[in-house]
């Protein structure tokens, strides 16, 4: 029977540091961790990277095989070559769109809404929720029998069941699977599941039904499992704020996890009474006022975003100058960084404050990534005019065409009321080549689409996509730092 430990305490009381020490000791039982059977599991890869960095700072010389990963990565590792690739949001929506469009018969419920903006995204989210609950089409079909007594609910249920059947067929044909399908596959082969010496789940407040099933099976195949859970002080008085971690705690206790609190009572992040009082009262309906003077919490006001950033920069310079605090000890937290980031970077450089923005850059913030996105959307959405003209006029493509030729091409499309359709664009350029350059570019787009559509599975598509991307020879002269990062991400 596995040793099942549950560490419950407020944030900042040392749970993660304790887990790092436990993990470090376990992996050092083997030389440089080469044959280690210990796994440190985090909610996402950003957290995993942070823990990796913290463990390496522990001066573990020659560490080679530290398993620090997400639940999806853990599942794929255990499945090995049997693990299927995970679809991204764009692929998931494209598959669903093609299913709705390719139907031989009209959909009873989805026919009137399948072209609405946002519908494919909503349907994709429903599919993800369906999978996260480890549902199958067969179990849903049985559970939905009562729906068929109602005309509207019956039509909706029947269409959704048909969509799910075709979705799973398409996914299998492409060599893809939702993460929960990989978990289901792993659970079906649990007798051959790898024996582990230590599993640590840190930073979670909630597990999906599929993840819960995996943890339940893991209790039979691990020597020790350690789970951390952050619950604030007096959390029972603030259940509306802690409902998810409370439910997770109940689930783990039912599995046999023993709760330990004694080690984790001191807040290591601050010794300021005002901050501790704030943490204790912030979610209470009737928070207690803080008694006494304090300088730990201040409110600063500014007229605009730039003034706000300058106020922050002056405070940082003051703290750095007057107190034994390094710049790297200071953190500025925003609800969302977004458009503030460029102003913040400019102001901090002016004030000579070194900084690193721990903000994942969205690919679509890069002009190069927007180009690739519109290129793929051209194929997915039926060769719409706005996507084609975006590509034609892009600085990254840099077609040697003057404004007059572009205007003539646009005027010809307008005279035909040409808004979409690959064949319609081919017919247009066959009648008037527009200097040849635009015609050749459109033909190249068609050739690339045919190349991608001929791929038999996801791996072939990825390789073909990379080759075609290189063959486009996009202009490197306009590449920014964000474009370089986006290119590497692709």
DSSP string over 45-104: HHHHHHHHHHHHTT--TT----EEEEHHHHHHHHHGGGPPBPP-HHHHHHHHHHHHHH-S
Domain 3-82+183-260 has CATH 3.40.50.300: yes
Name the residue with tokens 């390496």. 56
Other C-beta atoms lying within 10 Å of the C-beta of residue 32? 15
Give the residue from 92, 84, 73 showing the smallest Cα distance to 176. 84
pLDDT tens per residue, range 229-288:
988 777 777 777 788 899 999 999 999 999 886 677 787 788 888 988 888 887 777 888
Pick the most confident of 80-94, 204-218, 280-294: 204-218
Say if residues 174 and 13 touch (Cβ distance below 8 Å): no
Q: Is pLDDT larger for residue 403 or for residue 480? A: 403
Domain residue ranges of the chain, discontinuous segments joined by +: 3-82+183-260, 89-176, 305-350, 364-489
- Cα gap 158→152, rounded to integer Å: 10
pLDDT score of 70 more than 70: yes
Q: For residue 120, give every residue at least 6 positions away whose Cβ sits within 8 Å of its Cβ, in sequence order, or none.
A: 93, 96, 97, 100
Give the pLDDT band of residue 436 (cuts 50, 70, 90). confident
Q: What is the pLDDT of residues 175-210, one digit of tens each?
A: 899 999 999 888 888 777 778 899 999 999 999 999
Whole-number average pLDDT of the chain = 83
What pLDDT, on a 0 to 100 scale, did the predictor assign at position 398?
A: 73
Would the CA dihedral through 232, 235, 238, 239 be positive or negative?
Answer: positive
Quick check: 330 and 443 in contact, CB under 8 A?
no
- pLDDT score recorded for residue 96: 92
The pLDDT tens digits of the residues spanning 221-246 come to 899 999 999 887 777 777 777 888 99
């Amino acid at each position: 029977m596995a040793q099942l430990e549950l560490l419950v305490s407020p944030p900042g009381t040392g749970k993660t540091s304790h887990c790092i020490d436990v993990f470090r000791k376990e992996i050092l039982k083997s030389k440089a961790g080469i044959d280690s059977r210990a796994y440190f599991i985090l909610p996402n890869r950003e957290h995993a990277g942070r823990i990796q960095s913290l463990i390496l700072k522990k001066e573990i010389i020659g560490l080679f095989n530290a398993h620090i990963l997400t639940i999806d990565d853990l599942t794929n590792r255990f499945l090995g070559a049997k693990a299927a690739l995970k679809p991204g949001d764009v692929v998931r929506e494209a598959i669903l769109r093609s299913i709705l469009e390719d139907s031989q018969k009209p959909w009873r419920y989805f026919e009137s809404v399948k072209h609405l903006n946002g519908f494919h995204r909503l349907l994709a989210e429903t599919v993800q929720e369906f999978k996260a609950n480890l549902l199958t089409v067969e179990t849903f079909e049985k559970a939905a029998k009562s729906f068929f007594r109602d005309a509207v609910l019956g039509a909706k249920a029947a269409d959704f069941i048909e969509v799910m059947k075709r979705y799973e067929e398409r996914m299998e044909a492409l060599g893809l699977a939702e993460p929960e399908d990989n978990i289901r596959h792993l659970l079906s082969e649990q007798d051959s599941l790898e024996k582990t010496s230590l599993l640590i789940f840190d930073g979670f407040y909630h597990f999906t039904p599929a993840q819960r099933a995996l943890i339940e099976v893991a209790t039979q195949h691990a020597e020790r499992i350690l789970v951390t859970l952050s619950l604030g002080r007096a959390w029972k008085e603030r259940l509306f704020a802690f409902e998810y971690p409370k439910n997770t705690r109940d689930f783990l206790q039912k599995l046999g996890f023993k709760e330990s609190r004694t080690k984790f009572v001191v807040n290591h992040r601050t010794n300021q009474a005002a901050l501790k009082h704030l943490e204790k009262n912030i979610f209470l309906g009737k928070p207690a006022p803080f008694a006494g003077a304090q300088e730990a919490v201040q409110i600063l006001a500014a007229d605009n975003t730039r003034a706000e950033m300058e106020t922050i920069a002056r405070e940082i310079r003051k703290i750095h100058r007057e107190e034994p605090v390094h710049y790297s000890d200071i953190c500025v937290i925003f609800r969302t960084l977004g458009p503030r980031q460029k102003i913040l970077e400019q102001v901090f450089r002016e004030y000579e404050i070194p900084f690193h923005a721990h903000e994942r850059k969205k690919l679509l913030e890069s002009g190069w990534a927007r180009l690739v996105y519109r290129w793929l959307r051209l194929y997915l959405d039926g060769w719409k005019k706005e996507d084609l003209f975006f590509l034609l006029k892009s600085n990254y493509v840099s077609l040697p065409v003057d404004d007059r030729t572009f205007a003539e091409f646009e005027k010809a499309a307008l005279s035909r009321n040409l808004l979409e359709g690959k064949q319609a664009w081919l017919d247009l350029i066959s009648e008037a080549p527009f200097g040849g350059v635009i015609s050749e570019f459109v033909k190249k787009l068609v050739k690339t689409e045919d190349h991608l559509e001929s791929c038999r599975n996801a791996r072939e598509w990825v390789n073909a996509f990379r080759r075609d991307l290189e063959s486009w020879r996009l202009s490197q002269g306009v590449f920014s730092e964000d474009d370089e990062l986006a290119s590497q991400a692709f």
